Every structure is written in C-alpha cells, then in structure tokens.
Structure 1
Amino acid sequence: MAKQSRTNIRDSILEASTVLFSKKGYSGVSMRDVAQHLGCTPAALYYHFKDKDQLYLGVIQHVCHGVSASLKRAKDSHGEPWDQLSAVLTELIRTLSANESFWRLLQQILMDENEERMRQLGNSVFHDIFSIFYDLASKIGPHLDPHQLTISMMSLCLFPFQSANAASFLPGFDPTNLQPDKLSSHVLNFISLGINDDATNTLSLKNRKPK
C-alpha cells in the first residue's frame, strides 16, 4: 500500500471494506478486520478514516454515488416518464445482478437498528437514489402517495435478489426470472397494472353514489 497514491489507497480501503460490510454488517466488521484483509496495519486505516463510523459511511457513499449517477444518466436519456422509469428500473436491476456486494450491503443496512446512522445515510447517501424514483412515482401515479410508491418500486427490484436462495427451493422457481431484462420488464408491467388498477378503483369509489 505504501507505493500507492493516497487516492488509490483510499479507494482500495473502500472496496475491501465494501465486501466485508456486505457480508457481515456494521457490527461484524472491525478496523482490524479491514486491515488484515488489506495486509496493512490498523494505523494505516486510521490515517484515512478516523473511526469505523466514518469508514462505514464512506463505503456506502462510494457505492451509492456510482449507482445514483448511472440511474440519473438512464433517466435523462429518455423524455417520457414511463420510458424514464423503464430505463431506471433496467439500470438498477442490472447493477443488482452484476454487483452482489451492492445488494448485500443494502440488505445489511436495512437491518441496521442504529437510528443516527440511518439518519445520516438517509440524508447524505440514499437521498439521490430515492429522489430519482420519487420524481418518477409522482409523475406516473399522481393519485398515489409517491413515498409509498417509491418504496414499493425499489422493493420489487431488490427483493428478488435478496430472496433468491430461498426462492430456489419454492414451487415454480425459474432462475431465468433474475435475468435483468426479463425482471425489469416484469417489474414495469407489475407497476403499470397496479397503478392503472388503483386509478380505476379510486375513480369508481369517487363516482359511487351513497345509498
């Protein structure tokens, strides 16, 4: 590590820590674990990160910044909301499919019960990714709660990967359903049907005359 530039060393630390945190979560990883994985001393880590909290936040920022940038490019490459959503869903699912550490890290984060860490992550890390979906949710389902719809859309992308091991032992499992293009098409159709059906039901209730 001594021959690397400071930026390269920092990136190496973040990449190694991503793998560890994605497998063991925040509480299962120590600075000593990271140092051992990298083949350096804990003191070398503390030169770049003052404590484990800063390293953990840095890891998630490092991972999510790249994802949010790719999702924004996908969104900006199309003009209509549904086309934008299709592109964003496809990009996110491709990322989840290609980067196991990313979705495992998300899974570990969702199980984190530390409110202060979640506040920091919500304000400084997940905000950009969530906002991309939130903006699209507001446009394609204006009659729905955009926050709830955003959570639902992101869950539809993430859960198939989180549940793949268990699902492989359940009836009807087809591994090809996890292929990015096939899964993104399914998710988009599911969202479309749900939104249109909900709009129809909402309109029906509004037009229903009291007895």
Structure 2
Amino acid sequence: MEPTQKKLLGIAAELFAERGFSAVSMREISRSAGITQAAIYHHFINKEALYVAAVEYLYEGQATELVSLASQQEDPEAQLAVTVSSLLKLFDKQAQFRRIYFRELLDGDQKRLKLLADGAFPEIHQFLVGLMAQLAPHMDSHLMVLDLTGLIFHHLEARKLSAQLDTGRAKHQKLPYLADHIVALLLNGVRTQ
C-alpha cells in the first residue's frame, strides 16, 4: 500500500469513527489528508468503497492472524479462549473500530451494514460460526457469535462504568480477567451443574 493511500485510510477511519459515515464528506477527507478529491477517487471509486477500506484497514490482516492462532489449538474450548483473548486485545487497541461498529448498529443503514458484513467480517465470522457449532451444536451458532461479540464490545466499553460502581474492582479492568469471565460464561452459562 502506498503512503498516500495509507494516510488517506487512517484519516478517513478517524473521521468516520468520530462523526459517522453520513456526517463526513469526501471534501472534508481530502482537506484533512491534504490531497484533492480527485486523488481520493483515483484510489477509491466512491465514499462507500473508501469507508469499507478504512474499516478493513483498522484491523488489516488481524482477522487472518487470529483465525490462524486459534486454529493451532486442537480443543474447541482452547480455540475459544485464544479467540476471546485475542479479540479483546485487538478491539481494546482499536477504539476507532469499536466506535464505527456501534455507530453502524445504531444507525441501522442496511447498505452500510451489508458493506461491513461482506467487506470486513467474512473470515472471522465464518470461523466463529464453525467454532460455536462445535462448542454448542444444540444452540444457534449465528446468535452465539453475536453473543460473543456483544460481550467483548460491551465489556471493553463498560470498564469505564465498572470502575465507578461500588462492586467494581481493579481486576474487572484487566483483559485476561475479562477473557476468562467471557469464556466461562459462554461455556457454562450462569447456572451451576
């Protein structure tokens, strides 16, 4: 990837995360990047293509790395533990991605959600659906993947609130503790055997 394109994607991702897709214009992106709008269109056919590329740029190659790392584990429960820990670390570092993710869910624009589903999530989604089918064949793997991502994203954001609650402890802020909790919750639920 050439330096101009890398700079453009970084600036676009920052603006989309900060203000949302609809509130950001190509003119603003070009101005912030210090290039002409024509230069943007040389790299990306339209704003939607730039948007998907910017989201993919935020975790470029990391989905492949995560799937590879988790797949090295033979046991599906160990795969889940590696996956949860890796996703927490990844998305803890990617606050921009989290903001874009939540913005899109709240906006509910079907076209952009489809762009994200097709452009940013297919590899990790397919891996997670397969993993959930192995771990809980009696459950709906699609919904289990949404449960997993919901837990990860919520815990990362809720740490700010958790620290303010009377029952909040320092351990509740630590990613390994959160990972163990999420894995235990997914594998065991809330009932004791």
TM-score normalized with structure 2 length? 0.88
Q: Does 1:121 align with 2:116?
A: yes
Provide the residue aligned with 2:49 in structure 1: 54
Residues 103, 161 of structure 1: 8 Å contact kept: no
Gaps of 5+ in 2: none
- Following superposition, the deviation at residue 167 of structure 1 comes to 4.0
TM-score normalized with structure 1 length? 0.81
- Following superposition, the deviation at residue 144 of structure 1 comes to 1.0
| 2:121 partner letter | F
- Following superposition, the deviation at residue 140 of structure 1 comes to 0.8
Quick one: distance in 2 between partners of 1:141 and 1:155?
18
Q: Does 1:96 align with 2:91?
A: yes
- Following superposition, the deviation at residue 73 of structure 1 comes to 2.0
1:16-35 equivalences under 5 Å are 16-35=11-30
- Following superposition, the deviation at residue 55 of structure 1 comes to 0.8
Provide the residue aligned with 1:3 in structure 2: none
Q: Does 1:158 align with 2:180?
A: no
- Following superposition, the deviation at residue 72 of structure 1 comes to 0.8
Quick one: distance in 1 between partners of 2:12 and 2:185?
36
Provide the residue aligned with 2:168 in structure 1: 173
Provide the residue aligned with 2:134 in structure 1: 139
Residues 104, 162 of structure 1: 8 Å contact kept: no
Quick one: distance in 2 between partners of 1:76 and 1:115?
32
Specify whether residues 178 and 66 from structure 1 end up closer, same or farther in structure 2 by C-alpha distance, changes over 3 A only: farther
Provide the residue aligned with 2:187 in structure 1: 192
Higher Cα Rg, which structure: 1
Residues 112, 118 of structure 1: 8 Å contact kept: no
Specify whether residues 103 and 174 from structure 1 end up closer, same or farther in structure 2 by C-alpha distance, changes over 3 A only: farther
For residue 61 of structure 2, the aligned residue among 66, 87, 97 is 66
Q: CA RMSD in A?
A: 2.2
1:7-64 per-position Cα deviation (integer Å, ceiling 9, x unaligned): 2211211111111111111112111221222222222222212321111111123234
